[in-house]
Structure 1
């Protein structure tokens, strides 16, 4: 899944800095006041524990493979603080929706809008037209508090990578802002209608959210990652602690044991986790760990609480919201435009990003966040009015950018023509939704994609998107062959066991191909193609053995040259910077070596091997254009339709001899 394979770890830190022990179903003004006024330094320290690993993880500093779980830590903190204060104010009969939203706006919007302003200036200066249009859409979504919905809807496999989206991190703000919109109303309703059942009702809501996340994760993990209904249970964990559903430990041993257990879960997720681990597992470890750490200091500071209350740790926690806002745009502009240093992958550039992020975060906290947080005498009407005007003005500018199609007049015509392929739609060439299954909701069109032809040789092309991008080129180069197609996103060609409850497209498709179609149909060749990785070698060997034992002629199509950045972007940069070697310097390492290893394995197992890499690259030089100003590849690795024709023509020569023999048989 493009989503979580390419971007985890955005978070928000916009919760209040006070905490205490408010409860539903109890009374006492002193208890209510304690929650609203008691400062807990350990919670600011917990913010630091989240933001530092995320910053280092995103900057590319090794040693923090699970640093992205900061989002989950902050969701728990927000649920605890916000719901605790709402509970206290409701029971004290002083809760006001207007006052609540005013505080939220003063807390979130000033620093956020400053980041939007600066990021927008850099986007206008550096982004190509397609990129600027995408940025305008994401900005409008963030302004409307629906960034998470926008990014969930644009997280397809062929969408721009995370490293080109400077506002991608605002998805978590969208989740929290939707939480702020719904939860106060829900708590008011429950408090008035069923105060005695309040805690139970919130626990049921949390359980339903978690159950929904589990159910949907099998079918659409992107939605589970981005959308508020499937993240609500994390916020609810903190809320349930704040309202007393979970009892806080009271003895010294209980506090310290609770804090230590929570810290071990958090550190385990951060240092031993992985982006490839199941999403809900990582979320659960971080959320439960955060809840335990907060609970450990509810009735008095635990040993872990004292550790988190150290001044340097608290300082990072205090600036964590601004650090969250600024670190990701800086990383994006450094990686796409070398904003700070020419080598984005170098240690110096990574450390410079970390230092600059912390420095800007401190300035934002001191000169933007703090003054507005102290502006308690400003009227609600003024706050709402200014926020509304600023939002409307920014949305209007986004509309203008879309109206002028990304302001192409900023760049030479050739650059604009090449960069337009950043928005290339491969669905027609790939036969998406029919023969290439891009989502789990799609099903193979057997009549269109898998019908054999008695008058021509039949070749079955099986694999992932790197198989799908070859279909049109091979079909054009070999009109005398009927090329069948069974491909799906991120789907290696191998026999897979499928449970009756599995709704994923790839296992279903491979089960059909290997256990149904190839059992009941004969084809002249089976073409196996994928974006092969080292971990695929064992599975490929087994697949070749299985097919050859059944008498099939197997052809393995190797990996194609790939880049660390979409090729059209690199080609545009070559022109703008007058540096023709930019693309060649950013080729993904290790592919040529893997290509050679796969060739040896295929030959040893009795299969034919065709090197797609050699079809594109010769003598250290790789073709970058299909023809004219049309890039060979539209992203970091997939072929354009014209590129597929070029590569398909070259690969077809490797099949020419066997094709001729097949034609003779037909005749």
Structure 2
């Protein structure tokens, strides 16, 4: 196969764009389009290899898969092995457990499925995903597995000419799926092959329908480079991706490939070296970025950027292009051993016994304690204590709420009289008020819980005490800035009419209940800036221990708008419970109390933290 310096130069541009974006997105806001450039290049090269072999009757599925595996898997395995070593010394049990699972998924090339269900690529918390970047390797590998089989079948049953038309048609269909799916489920669309396949297939179209070699297409080459650069500069994470806009970097890459032109920008030694090392650089750079963030190293870009190139070169030189093939570098062996180690670490809670007793205590003390329902049916979870919920569904107390209610229910149960009964209806990230919708999330489970609560439970429990425990500030104000999220990005609930706000719908709902029920509503608990147990463990591992509890002023400022909502509730007769005096002092809202974590993560209270609210609940609920 003739070596194309222009394509190698494109690889360099792609990896430079991606790493600049990841080290500091302000340097190149649209640098993530480098992955799209890689996809087109892969599609072009794979189509060229497969089609030329099919035309010469020399194509072998075994040789094709073996060639791809021998190049891709050993460098990936080396990176994962490094993470196993790093995690042993520096990661908390929870993080090491997660890294083990990510390594297994990455070695099996299914990580894109996991991330598609988990979180968005641009979420701030994604910086904690050590192998997030392997989603693109998984998508490409899935393409490598499926594409040759499809082409082989099409060539055999339809012939060469119809195979070309088939690829063009499939490209168009994949693009349509991408546009539709991106609007329905942006996160899944970002990571999965069906919405990305068209980008690789465009590369195939570039090979199957080349331009005449008799003309000089320098202008096309430069125009393509200009489009790629413009995309990297003017596109940013706010734009839906992939989408119509994705056509821009794809078109730019397509034009460079079909023009087949050398130019001084792509065909020079530094760019050619980087292009050759690009796969290994891509593998290492994200882990280097994450190490800098994890260890909070200032100005890390000045160390991490050159280190990414150095490690990329070493990986290319000694692993990716190794001449000697041994049993230990066999791709199948590496998948079994490295993936198996990852799975074992996940199953053993990050190999918990290898940590110190203090770390094991923190980890064990802050596990999520599941709720054991003494009786459960479609009407909810029934905590009976000494008395049964009556046959007609009556209970003395009804608890409604989201995951914050879930983390405090043990305390609520301890607070009510032992001879009283309680029914709990809960759903994560659910604001318990009918007539609210969301453009941010699927509310199927939430709406089901709300229907049960308002249409079945409450009508049978006139006179009961109803308790609402919810993270109300996030529903109306969005994420806490200190969580790294843009507060304007996640206003979760809305109403179709502009004449009434979602806050008013919620307050009107609770106020309408006060005539028939005794209503309690808790103000939000303080939200910290870190996962507290992980922070405690990290402090022990790294010998750092700074108190980063949020200040009382921060807590009050965060909930300033929320206070107006609770003032309206108070005015209409809702009883307001305020956790501030129990979780905060005159200066701050501590993350640790008497050496014990107050939180399960950054905002959910631990069992110990929730028990700090026992006096508040007992005083209110036993009157």
* Same fold? TM cut 0.5: yes
Match of 1:529 among 444, 450, 470: 470
For residue 209 of structure 1, report the CA deviation from its aligned partner: 4.6
1:587-635, Cα deviation, whole Å (9 max, x unpaired) = 9995542124422453267476544455322233545458985x43222
Secondary structure of the corresponding residue to residue 527 of structure 1: strand
Query: CA 1:251–1:326 in 2, change beyond 3 Å: closer, same or farther?
Result: closer
Q: Quick one: structure 1 residues 122 and 509, their matched pair in 2 at CA, closer, same or farther if it must change by over 3 Å?
A: same
Contact 1:75–1:234 (8 Å) recurs in 2:
yes
In 2, Cα distance between the equivalents of 1:61 and 1:497? 33
Residue matched to 1:560? 525
**Residues 176-204 of structure 1, C-alpha deviations (whole Å, 9 max, x = no match):** 22221221122122112112322333344
Choose which of 165, 172, 187 in structure 1 pairs with 2:151: 187
Asked whether the 8 Å contact 1:115–1:325 carries over to 2, the reply is yes
Go from structure 1 to structure 2 and tell me whether the alpha carbon gap of 1:147 and 1:446 turns closer, same or farther (over 3 Å shift).
same
**Tell me, what secondary structure is at the counterpart of 1:470?**
helix
Q: Is the 8 A contact 1:495 1:510 kept in 2?
A: no
Q: What are the superposed Cα offsets for residues 30-80 of structure 1, whole Å, 9 maximum, x if unpaired?
A: xxxxxx415142x44444444344334433554655544443332233222
Which shifted more, 48-57 or 247-256?
A: 247-256
Aligned counterparts of 1:299 and 1:84: Cα–Cα separation in 2: 13
8 Å contact from structure 2 (residues 552, 589) kept in 1: no
Q: How does 1:108-257 map to 2 (within 5 A)?
A: 108-149=72-113, 162-195=126-159, 196-206=161-171, 209=174, 223-244=188-209
The answer to whether the 8 Å contact 2:526/2:555 transfers is yes
How far apart are the structure 2 equivalents of 1:267 and 1:68? 10
In structure 2, the partner of 1:290 is: 249
Counterpart check, 1:505 vs 2:505? no
Name the counterpart of 2:482: none
SS of aligned partner of 2:259: coil
Residues 571, 583 of structure 1: 8 Å contact kept = no
Gaps spanning 5+ residues in structure 2: where? 384-388, 479-486, 495-500
Aligned to 1:428: 371
- Alignment root-mean-square deviation, CA: 4.8
Q: Distance in 1 between matches of 2:63 and 2:615?
A: 68
Partners in 1 of 2:347 and 2:403 — Cα distance?
33
From 302, 310, 331, the counterpart of 1:359: 310
- In 1, distance between residues paired with 2:47 and 2:328? 22
Structure 1 regions of 5+ residues with no counterpart? 1-35, 435-443, 661-667
Report the alpha carbon displacement of residue 518 of structure 1 after superposing the two structures with TM: 11
Q: Distance in 2 between matches of 1:511 and 1:85?
A: 56
Map 1:187-586; keep pairs closer than 5 Å: 187-195=151-159, 196-206=161-171, 209=174, 223-244=188-209, 264-269=230-235, 271=236, 273-274=237-238, 281-285=240-244, 287-300=246-259, 316-336=274-294, 338=295, 343-344=296-297, 346=298, 348-369=299-320, 371-372=321-322, 375=323, 386-395=330-339, 397-398=341-342, 401=345, 406-420=350-364, 424-425=367-368, 428=371, 445-448=378-381, 461-462=400-401, 464-479=402-417, 482=422, 484-489=424-429, 495-497=435-437, 504-505=443-444, 508-509=447-448, 512=451, 527=468, 529-530=470-471, 532=474, 533=478, 534-535=487-488, 536=491, 541-547=503-509, 550=512, 552=514, 557-577=522-542, 579-582=544-547, 584=549
Deviations 1:196-253 (A, max 9, x none): 3223333444455556667766887665444434543333333334333999999888
SS, match of residue 612 in structure 2: helix
Tell me whether 325-334 or 45-54 shows the greater mean CA deviation: 45-54
Out of 577, 599, 619, the residue aligned to residue 586 of structure 2 is 619
State the SS of the aligned residue for 1:461: strand
Q: Specify the alignment match of 2:481 in structure 1.
A: none
